[in-house]
Amino acid sequence: MFREMRRIRQQISREECVEILQRATSGVLGLHGDDGYPYTVPVSFVWQEGGTGFGIIGFHCAKTGHKIDAIRRDNKVSFTVIDRDEVMPRERTTKFCSVIVFGHARILEGEEEMRRAANAIGAKYSKGFEDLYMQETEDTIREGRLCCEEITIDHMTGKIGRQLLLERQREGKSK
């Protein structure tokens, strides 16, 4: 169903993909937008265990707008994170590492699901301020303003640039 990576030697392990998803602070969500145009939007997110074995990605958004309309119309999505992107002008290349996931998004229903997702996001981005993000979660739930989505990951690949791969091999570490 999903294509194999063409440059298989540059594919990184599932474990490294997860490490990247855990440390990254933003990614680009790809959706089927209006009038057949692709719609991509940067989002802050959290990766967690669960789903089909690849994990889930959670994020929040407004209750109305392009993103939520697109998810309601077609819940198949892709999500991309660039972990490293170091331009090497002389070599005319980059040292990069990235992850792409494919999955199905769903709008979370119910206070407990939204609370779990919002607090996971808060834990990632507001460490040390638990009382603040937990209170904000409760306030937005009570006011009916909280909207969270979750992507169940069906397929995940990661790729490392050739230059970075060679550098790792020289250093004797391969993931």
Summarised one tens digit per residue, pLDDT across range 121-146 is 999 999 999 999 999 999 999 999 99
Q: Pick out the chain residues at pLDDT < 50.
A: 175
- pLDDT computed for residue 60 by the predictor: 92
pLDDT at residue number 30: 98
CA nearest to 56, candidates 124, 151, 147: 151
3 domain residue, yes or no: no
Question: How many structural domains compose the chain?
Answer: 1
Identify the pLDDT of residue 123. 95
User: Residue 173 has what pLDDT?
Assistant: 61
Rounded to an integer, what distance in angstroms lies between the CA atom of residue 99 and that of residue 73? 25
pLDDT (0 to 100) of residue 172: 80
For residue 166, tell me if it sits in a domain. yes
- What's the pLDDT at 7? 80
Q: In this predicted structure, what is the pLDDT of residue 34?
A: 95
Give me the pLDDT at residue 121, please: 95
Domain carrying residue 35 = 8-108+147-170
Closest CA to 103 of 62, 71, 125: 71
Please report whether residue 127 resides in a domain.
no
Give whole-number Cα distances, 152 to 21, 133, 169, in Å: 14, 24, 33
In a domain, 141, yes or no: no
Evaluate whether residue 23 is within a structural domain. yes
Distance CA 167, CA 174 (A): 10
CATH of the domain at 23: 2.30.110.10
